[in-house]
Amino acid sequence: MKLAALFSGGKDSTYSIYKARQMGHDIKCLITLFPKSPNSHLLHFPSIKLTKLQSETMNIPHLVTELETDETNQEMKVLGILLKKAKQDFQIDGLVHGGISSEFQKKRFENICKENDLNILTPLWKASPKEYMNEIINSGFKFILTSVSSDGLDETWLGKIITISDLSKLSELSDKYGFNLNFEGGEAETFVVDCPLHSYPIQITKSKKIWDGYRGRFEIEDASLDSNARQS
């Protein structure tokens, strides 16, 4: 199928594109909606303005819009408009998204696709958290944590590229503090800096950590594509 991908720049939306391509689908465009605030129930994109770089390094066209409200029905209305544009411009047959366990998200996206006569693909749905996190790292995905908001996750995790050894520590913390290892509950947000879909990795050149004693975020102030990184 020719697919549009709902894209946030985080690990789940990016890995769903990777999995869809492995399944033989053609990703024709990315769709990104900038939420008005972090209160959106559907959209979780702390590093969303950097998705332009990711689109560039993946060489996939990018449809972007900024929302004026966090109201779910309005978000879906705007998504519907972008899906119609994607059908017109790229002749898409469906939408792929990186949902794992949110029935709320899944139902809304299924409905909007049905309204627009589109198929829907959810390659990560109900994936085992531990198996999924191991799989994504072993597949060559490098992602950082751009926010943390859970007991057990302190400021040392902010901006850190998560490795297999980090995953062991996170698994222990997940068991102890009860957060989702895949961060599906919003305990942390991620940003992919490199993966097999990228022509070049993203190099963060300026950033800062903001920490209030319980939760924090890693603000990427400047970044670029590292065109020298693939040279041997």
Whether 28 and 69 share a structural domain:
yes
* Domain termination site, one of 102, 121, 140: 121
Q: What per-residue confidence (pLDDT) applies to 190?
A: 94
Question: What CATH number does residue 213 fall under?
Answer: 3.90.1490.10
Q: Are residues 111 and 166 in the same domain?
A: no
Full-model pTM? 0.93
**Residue 111 corresponds to which tokens in the numbers above?**
């409905």
Mark whether 65 and 12 lie in a shared domain. Answer: yes
Please indicate, yes or no, if residue 232 is contained in any of the structural domains: no
Do both 145 and 48 map to the same domain? Answer: no
Which residues of the chain are under the pLDDT cut of 70? 36-48, 70, 231-232
pLDDT at 18: 98
Asked if 109 and 136 sit in the same domain, the reply is no
Q: What is the CATH number of the domain that holds 110?
A: 3.40.50.620
In a domain, 230, yes or no: no
The answer to whether residue 154 sits within a structural domain is yes
Output the pLDDT for position 73.
78
How many domains does the chain divide into? Answer: 2
Residue 198: closest CA among 181, 215, 217, 223? 223
In a domain, 81, yes or no: yes
- Whether 3 and 20 have beta carbons less than 8 Å apart is answered as yes
Same domain assignment for residues 67 and 143:
no
Q: Do 41 and 102 touch, CB atoms closer than 8 A?
A: no
103-135: burial string, b at 16+ Cβ within 10 Å, e else? eebbebbeebbeebebebbbbbeebebeebbee
Q: Tens of pLDDT along 178-205?
A: 999 999 888 999 999 999 999 999 999 9
What is the pLDDT at residue 101?
83
Range of the domain at 166: 129-225
137 and 44 in a common domain: no
153 is a domain residue = yes
